[in-house]
Amino acid sequence: MTVVDEVRRTIERLREEVCALHAHLTRYDLVVWTAGNVSARVPGEDALVIKPSGVAYDDLTPASLVVTDLHGRLLEGDLFPSSDTAAHAYVYRHRPDVGGIVHTHSTYATAWAARGEPIPCALTMIADEFGGEIPVGPFALIGDDAIGRGIVETLARSRSRAVLMRNHGVFAVGATATEAVKAAVMCEDVARTVHISRQVGEPTLIAAEDVDRLYERYQNVYGQDPRERDHR
Ligand SMILES: [Zn+2]
């Protein structure tokens, strides 16, 4: 098999994977209409696979996804790439460890973003998955590198895999697109729980040393076997 054939097969596999992952966004009520998107890096290549712009979730197929380079320029596909492609591309260029990115306006997490308030680390699940509070990134308009830069700079100061972009929504990253989607699902779940907890009192925070212990254990011990990680 030539290198070109191998890249082609990888892209076909990522088209299937990223298409299937978009179904999780609707399954977990993280998106409405055509908002939201998932992308995956093509490993070792200057390329990513992402949702096309303005296509309904029910109409997404592996073939309808588009491939761009890591500057958002179209390489493959009949449709325009998602309007968030520049932000995804910026993150891939500056975070070689990131293999997948998800963007949603999921309701509860975005309600925290609307207040510009980080989600405090008041649940073991937040410590496990995010290693501390889920931080807020800057307000940034679409159109240049501002969103991507805001994501990268905010995540650089945190262990979190998710960032609440102020007045906008959630960007979540992972080593794979599946991990990024998991972080986006968990982010919405904890945003909702802490929000509900807040209705009748002030949630208590987990002590910093316990956060560290939970995070280390979850990321390393559970991390040895991803199946176990998903069964807890
Ligand atoms: Zn958005």
Q: Which CATH superfamily is domain 3-220 in?
A: Class II aldolase/adducin N-terminal domain (3.40.225.10)
Ligand 1 midpoint to CA 109 (Å): 12
Q: Distance between CA 82 and CA 25 in Å, rounded?
A: 15
Ligand 1 midpoint to CA 142 (Å): 9
pLDDT at position 223, please? 56
pTM of the model: 0.94
Given a cut of 50, the residues of the chain with pLDDT beneath it are: 231-232
Residue 88 near residue 39, CB atoms below 8 Å:
yes
Ligand 1 midpoint to CA 62 (Å): 22
pLDDT at position 220, please? 85
Residues with CB in 5 Å of ion ligand 1? 169
Residue 194 near residue 118, CB atoms below 8 Å:
no
- The closest alpha carbon to 169, from 192, 195, 188, belongs to 188
pLDDT at position 221, please? 77
Ligand 1 midpoint to CA 10 (Å): 28
pLDDT at position 232, please? 47
Ligand 1 midpoint to CA 95 (Å): 20
Domain boundaries, the chain: 3-220
